[in-house]
Chains A and B, each alone.
Chain A
Amino acid sequence: EIVLTQSPGTLSLSPGERVTLSCRASQNVRSNLFSWYQQKPGQAPRLLITDASSRATGIPDRFSGSGSGTDFTLTISRLEPEDFAVYYCQQFGSAPNSFGQGTKLELK
């Protein structure tokens, strides 16, 4: 099973700032079958990025993903108030698929 480790656990930031979240896999993620999700309280996770770098439908271009192999990043170029949430990485290249433990973006 591939274990995904996200860092940092919590980030305190202000609107307008740029942020990069990291996710490291314990093994290579096959074919970069890797996604990022955003989750707000009381809501289901929402797909942001898939295949490591492809934005999902309707996702603003301030969100971007990069990486390959075992190291992946999600960048938000300029934080908007609605971006303060928890972000999860996930791999679906090897069964069982797995999620990271999450990074919480909180308002400074």
Chain B
Amino acid sequence: EVYLVESGGGLVQPGGSLRLSCEASGFTFSSFWMTWVRQAPGKGPEWLANINQDGSQKYYVDSMKGRSIISRDNAKKSLYLHIASLRAEDTALYYCAKGNRMDVWGQGTTVTVSS
């Protein structure tokens, strides 16, 4: 069965940074684009970034450009999102999803930005 498990969330002070991880299993990770999506409390999903199979193509939503980096390690079947300069509006549940069609999602990891 296909699984995605996110980790790395937590309470962070404004201006801080963190790295989110997503571990994949049950499919050939290296064959798929991968995507990060977040959802703030009571709001709809927001697409953040995606990365192609070998990491040579990366795309970001404007709010993430310049302060986040999406990356992957195919040997570890893992996807990452590093976010810097965190602010209160980054508080959300962060999901990774398989492919651009996002047919499989993890359970999410919660990021809270607060002093």
Residues of A within 8 A of B (CB): 1, 33, 35, 37, 39, 44-47, 50-51, 56-57, 86, 88, 90, 92, 95-102
Find out whether the CB atom of A44 lies under 8 angstroms from the CB atom of B47: no
Interface residues as binary, B50-62 with A (CB distance below 8 Å gives 1, 0 otherwise): 1000000001111
Q: Which of A46, A47, A86, A95 contacts B59 (CB 8 A)?
A: A95
20 CB-based A-B contacts, threshold 8 Å: A1-B62, A35-B102, A37-B45, A37-B102, A44-B108, A45-B45, A45-B102, A47-B101, A50-B101, A57-B103, A88-B44, A90-B102, A92-B101, A92-B102, A95-B59, A96-B61, A96-B62, A98-B47, A99-B47, A102-B44
In whole angstroms, what is the CA distance A39 to B95 when docked? 13
Most buried by B among A90, A96, A100: A96
The range of chain B's interface size is 20 to 34
Find out whether the CB atom of B103 lies under 8 angstroms from the CB atom of A44: no
